[in-house]
Each structure stands twice: as structure tokens, then as C-alpha cells.
Amino acid sequence: MALIVQKYGGTSVGNPERIKNVAKRVAKFHAQGHQMVIVLSAMSGETNRLIALAKEISPNPSPRELDVVISTGEQVTIGLLSMALEEMGIKARSYTGGQVRILTDDSFTKARILDIDGDNIRRDLDAGAVVVVAGFQGVDEAGNITTLGRGGSDTTGVALAAAIKADECQIYTDVDGVYTTDPRVVPEARKLDTITFEEMLEMASLGSKVLQIRSVEFAGKYKVKLRVLSSFQEEGEGTLITVEEDKNMEQPIISGIAFNRDEAKITVLGVPDKPGIAYQILGPVADANVDVDMIIQNVGHDGTTDFSFTVNRPDYDKAIKILEGVQAHIGARAIQGDRTMAKVSIVGVGMRSHPGVASRMFRTLAEEGINIQMISTSEIKISVAIDEKYLELAVRVLHRAFGLDQAPV
């Protein structure tokens, strides 16, 4: 008998039929004697609908009120699944984040989990019930409803698993595991049997939305056994996120390719090439809560230089406005930007022991005439910023160039 947390995403609970299917799967595990805690997302499309609704009332809603609205999608699905289980004769109890008491900080719309009270859950489990918890939400110290950022139900699942010391956390979604890249973009993408936490962290932070990055951080920190599986297949081992690299296998050089469409590039031209300039440019941007990603400062000529960086596309206008405000003060000649950038990243722990990975990546892109506008690297990843219109092409050719479409020997 094991204690298992299962998280089902939006597509998996997208209509009553699918909710009944989830109930059947949960019932099967329950019948085998396992203690089950189920974490649910809202029905697919629902969170988007709620956000759009809020924006119709107010273009810039108060984050507190926005969370009150967008947390409701999950309250619907947990109630429905509990009903479906009861229909099958299984005792079930639903809990919102506040009812469990998933305590978060007060950063509305992107709150962090601080503590989880497992008492209610344990009591119900001991009484033989299935516990159904709303993902994506918590409460702050003052009792305000908070949400955990898009895709946050993954994090609820893993954090709960850590808090109640579950034997395993299973993330059920609409694909049967973690793939070498998004299978909706590259049909030849292959499912991975295992991927290391390090690699999964990079993939998630570089745009693969199959797991929210914080869920991977939690799993790594609290040693939660984490698996991604399909809610539409009866069988299948999915993908196990592992601490250890698989020593028995020849490590592939690259494990996966991640990408993010929503990038924008900003260049500050002709700034004085002197100490403190990066701070003068990026300080005000950071103060406005705009995340800066890739950064390059060019070689100076005649005492001036150009400085470029990328931001998330939704922050582009705000960042440009801030820089225009400080342009005279910095002494910059001009500010330019491009809001249709994308970032493509190759990820793999095998990179550590294989030189020449970057040159192969750059050659592959060059052969397709794709211009690389910025580059950033870490020990296990290389990212490039390119024009968005080449994104799919870039991902496909890199996938082939690194042999990801072929099963490892």
C-alpha cells in the first residue's frame, strides 16, 4: 500500500466524461489499497476564460481580485470529481487551497507556497476517503486567496506530496511523458523514459510547459519521486524525473530542446562605455519588476557601446517606456526593439563531457539561414534568440541534427 498524489491537468478534466474517467482511474488505485490524494486543475480553457472576463471589467485588475476570480475554476473540478467518486461508492472529500491550508506569501498571481498543513488530509485518508485538492491556489497569512502562477497545479501536487511524504507524485496530462521537445511542434519527438532534475529544471525554465518550474524545484529539494504520465492511456510508465543520471546508458549529448515564443529584444544604442552603465540601464527595468533574460554588451567604439537584452514579450512596452524615460540621463543615442523574438535552447547533462556542441548548433542554424541574435549558455544548456518566424524550423532542424528523433543505442 502506498500513499500517492496524482495531479490531473485541464484537458484531463475538460468535460464531465473525462472527470468520470479520472474517477475510474482513482477508483482503481483506491481498490488496490493505496491512499489517494488528487490535485486538479480547472477545466481546460477555464482559467483563460476567467482572465479574459476580468480584463473585460478592468484592463488592469487588482491582483488580489484577479486571484479571487481565477482561483474559482479549480473549485468546480474538485467538487465534480468528488461527486463522481461518491457516485461510484467511494468516500471522497474536496478541499480548496484555503481549506487544506496551503499557506503562501502574498504575491498575488505568482504566490509561493510557504507551508502546508497536512492534518485534514491525513485524517480523511485514515478514514478511508480519497482527498481531492484544488491546484493552483492557496491563502496568505491574512486569509486572502492567492494563486501560484500559470501551470501552478503541478506545484500544488508536488508540494503536497512533499508535505504528506507521499511515496510518489504522478502528473497526469495530455501527453504520455516528457518528450525530447514539444511533440505538437515536432512530430518525431520521442518520449524519454527518464530525465534528470537538472535537465527538467532547465527545460521548464526555458519554456517547456509540461511541468511548472517550481514543481521541479520542489521535487528536487524534497526528493519527491515525480513521474509524468498520460491520463488518456491505461498503461505506460511515463517519464520518471531522476536525481541520478542513468549510468548504464550512453548519455546522449542533448536530452531535449525547449523553446519560448514570447520574447522581445531591446537595444540601447550609443551609450557611454564606462563603469556603471549596465546598472543604469537595467536598474530601472528591474525596479519595474520586468525580468531580463539574455544580455549582451558590445565592444565599445569611440567611447560608446550598444547594449541589448531580452524581456518577456508582455513586458516589452513597459520596458521601452522606462528606457525612454531614462534615455537622456544615460546619454544613449537611441532605443530600438523587436517584439517578435523567440528563444530556442538545447539542454543536456551530456554537454559537460562533449565539446563542440555549440558549434554544431550554430552550424545547423546557419545552414538554414537562421540568424542568431543572442546567445547564452550554462553548463548544461545553450540558448539562442532568433526571429520568431524561424522558431519551428529551428527546433525541427536541431532535433534532427542532434539525433533526438532516433532511439538511443
What is the binding site for Mg ion (CB under 5 A)?
9, 151
| Cβ closest to Mg ion, residue 108 vs residue 136 | 136
Return the residues of window 26-45 that contact ligand ADP according to CB under 6 A.
Answer: 41
State yes or no: residue 179 binds ligand ADP (CB under 6 A): yes
The CA–CA distances, whole Å, from 135 to 110, 151, 227 equal 13, 9, 17
The correct pick among 9, 97, 152, 348 for binding ligand ADP (CB under 6 A) is 9
The correct pick among 14, 61, 73, 138 for binding ligand ASP (CB under 6 A) is 73
For residue 150, the partner it binds in Mg ion, ligand ADP, ligand ASP, none, with Cβ less than 5 to 8 A by kind, is ligand ASP
| Cβ closest to ligand ASP, residue 61 vs residue 152 | 152
The correct pick among 6, 11, 35, 41 for binding ligand ASP (CB under 6 A) is 41
State yes or no: residue 209 binds ligand ADP (CB under 6 A): yes
The correct pick among 42, 213, 219, 229 for binding ligand ASP (CB under 6 A) is 42
The position carrying cell 537595444 is 267
Q: Assign residue 89 a region: left if phi > 0, alpha if psi is -120 to 50, beta otherwise? A: left
For residue 152, the partner it binds in Mg ion, ligand ADP, ligand ASP, none, with Cβ less than 5 to 8 A by kind, is ligand ASP
**Taking the complex as a whole, how short is the minimal distance between the CB of residue 51 and ligand ADP, in angstroms?**
15
The position carrying cell 546557419 is 366
The position carrying cell 503536497 is 160
The correct pick among 5, 6, 10, 265 for binding ligand ASP (CB under 6 A) is 10
What residue is closest to ligand ADP based on CB?
Answer: 9
| Cβ closest to ligand ASP, residue 67 vs residue 306 | 67
**Taking the complex as a whole, how short is the minimal distance between the CB of residue 151 and ligand ASP, in angstroms?**
5
| Alpha-carbon 327 to chain mean position | 34
Helix H or strand E encompassing 37 = strand 35-40
Q: Which of 152, 40, 148, 142 minimizes the C-alpha distance to 96?
A: 40
Residue type, 300: G
The position carrying cell 543572442 is 374
State yes or no: residue 11 binds ligand ADP (CB under 6 A): yes
Count of positions on this chain that bind ligand ASP (CB under 6 A) = 13
Residue type, 387: D
Q: Assign residue 77 a region: left if phi > 0, alpha if psi is -120 to 50, beta otherwise? A: alpha
Q: Where are the beta strands (DSSP E) in 120-167?
A: 130-134, 137-139, 145-147
**Taking the complex as a whole, how short is the minimal distance between the CB of residue 208 and ligand ADP, in angstroms?**
4
| Alpha-carbon 200 to chain mean position | 10
The correct pick among 14, 97, 98, 135 for binding ligand ASP (CB under 6 A) is 135
The CA–CA distances, whole Å, from 345 to 198, 398, 399, 405 equal 14, 10, 11, 17
Helix H or strand E encompassing 270 = strand 256-272
Q: Which residues bind ligand ADP (CB under 6 A)?
A: 9-12, 41, 151, 173-175, 178-179, 181-184, 208-210, 256
Binding stretches for ligand ASP (CB under 6 A): 9-10, 41-42, 47, 73, 135-136, 150-154
